[in-house]
Structure 1
Amino acid sequence: MKLRLDQKQLADAARRAHRRLPNNPLRPVLSGLLIEASSDTVTLSGFDLETATRATLDAETLEPGETVVPGRLLADVAAALPAGPVDLVADEHEATITAPGTSFTLPTLPRREYPALPEPPGASGVVDGDRLATVIGHAAQAAMAEKEAVGTMTGFGGVHVRADGDQLIVSASDRYRIVRHTLPWQPDGERAGELLLPAPGFAVTAKQMAGHPVRIAFAEGTSGVAALATERLTVTDRTLAVDFPDIARFFPDPAAAAGWMRADADELAEAVKRAALVNEKPEQPIMLTFDRDEVTVRGGVEGSKGASRIAAETADLDGFEIAYRPDFLSSLLTPVDGLVQMWFTTATKPALLAPVDDDTYRAVCMPVRLPK
């Protein structure tokens, strides 16, 4: 195999393709990147038996071929090369990478031992990459940690995406928080679908694709394989083999609320952050107390204490108190730009949270039950 490539394109492709490589692979060959060269393009692929990442770049192919090189080493070398043309020559034993004044020799891994990559299903529709990255990144924060999402809780470790006409519904929950985002997309015909992918990896994939239109391909039949793709990057992932929990029934009905409040989301988030400074542990709750035109956020226990007041519009909440984990409440406020409204029933039941002027985001936050 003999190629001439652009250093910037090579570095970018190697960086993207190696992001999901396993640290301690079951097979040594899985630590490598598969390089496939055709007449005018080169594809770099990484695979951990669950997720396959393919990055494509332009190249002058003098001799087509395939080889496998250590992934992280290739990414480091490509990033360190001077800008300009790069020559890559590989045989069965080694790959030589040459740029003006610089040369590296990398060992190759057995190509015959590299597993077949899963084929992505056909695209189901297209969505804006920046919006998708923001929404998936936020939803992933509300998903259950991987070490806890086992057994019957497996579904809580993922981010769920469902197509509903010309909208995508993105949901996640760790049982204490529920988030639901709606974003527009362009479906390919009337084909419906859904996917449930592990939250951390899904967030990484979506972030990599920011800035480009993203094609989403839902799993076909019982394949359990979904894909996200841009013009230069395709990530094929195995979906979680469980159903996403039915979270819709946990969203409170605003009409049944005992009271509500409106406040500036940034001001409320800052008040929560200040009050939590005196907490001894991140999970220690803060207390919200409501009056007619303000909300007071208190943190701390005996000894260190903190309180912060902000202006708020309230209805039927005079003297009402409710406790939350500060990190949970802050995370739910992050997507809100401007005024946020919260509806409350009792101090022990979940509250509904939503932007005042935006119907594309809804969240539920479970309060902390304090000892009497």
Structure 2
Amino acid sequence: MKVRNTALGLISTLLLPAAAQAEEVVLRVAHFLPPTTPMHAKVIAPWCDKIAAESQGKMKCQIYPAMQLGGTPPQLLSQVRDGVADVVWTLPGYTPGRFPVSEVFELPFITTTHEPSARAMWDFVQTHALGEFVGVKPLAVWVNGPNVLHFRDKQVRNLEDLKGMKVRAPSRLGNKLLASLGATPVGMPVPQMAESLSKGVIEGALIPWEVVPATKTQELTKYHAESSAERAMTTATMIYVMNQKKYDSLPAELKQVIDNNSGREFSAWVAAQHVAADTVGRERTAANGNLIYSIPAEEMAKWEAAAKPVTAEWIKENSARGSDGQKLYDDAVALVKKYSE
């Protein structure tokens, strides 16, 4: 009996490393940009380091940048819902129609600065838009910096200059905004933009400053028009989401680690990282000798007036779906104001 017990003890000892290994959770984290970009280096990698440290090594990430799990940027949402990835960073604007309520934050002249707008969006989603996140758990939702108009060969100073120009937009509402201003919108994900600018397929692009260095936009364009309005001409909403089944499968202690690294303040922290990245992008552009200028307030008032039908149409669309479109819009505006004061 003693020999048998000793043998069992030895087997148990040998199996301990395997059991410990089995307990380790590896999260497959996917996104669409290179690992040199700010979102990877300043947000996703630090988040992964934090959950590894707080879980004492029981939960780690395997990051797959630049669509290394296959597919295209618009497929990221399906990949995380289907469990191909466990966590993804993506833009709802890449999948038009899937986020009809939370896209309110992409409407013209609604958001202010990064962090207040991110807090507002988190609260708004929790109250009004969780139905858009079926199958995934929101870890953070936010908006990037105010989008700037970057042009290849022409300085746009007014609506007349913009008329008919082919300009890349990040989302459905970005397309509608450009159309309302008289431009010809061309929707495409960021990775396609650089080649399209280089070949002249598009004459300009609507992107925040942070995207400039990674896409070499400062080398592909010469003129950069910033808005002088208090609220951003437009932004892109962004989401960092986890497969719900994966989250549900975690033991309580690891769920707590995820919970401690998600939510309103995490959303604001993510948004804040875009501020520094915007500064770098703008400085890189200025150093290239490009012309950066602001559309005067008097002219911007005309742009705001021209864009009002975009908001009116959005309200009407959501009301037709059975929601109170005006209330959704008013609540979003009120939340942005609350966190901006």
Q: Which bracket does the TM-score occupy, shorter chain normalised?
A: under 0.3
Instruction: Give the number of the structure whose residues are more often helix, by fraction.
Output: 2
Give me the TM-score of the superposition, normalised by structure 2: 0.27
Instruction: Give the number of the structure whose residues are more often strand, by fraction.
Output: 1
Give me the TM-score of the superposition, normalised by structure 1: 0.26
Whichever of the two has the greater Rg, that structure is 1
| Larger RCO (CA within 8 A; separation ≥ 6) | 2
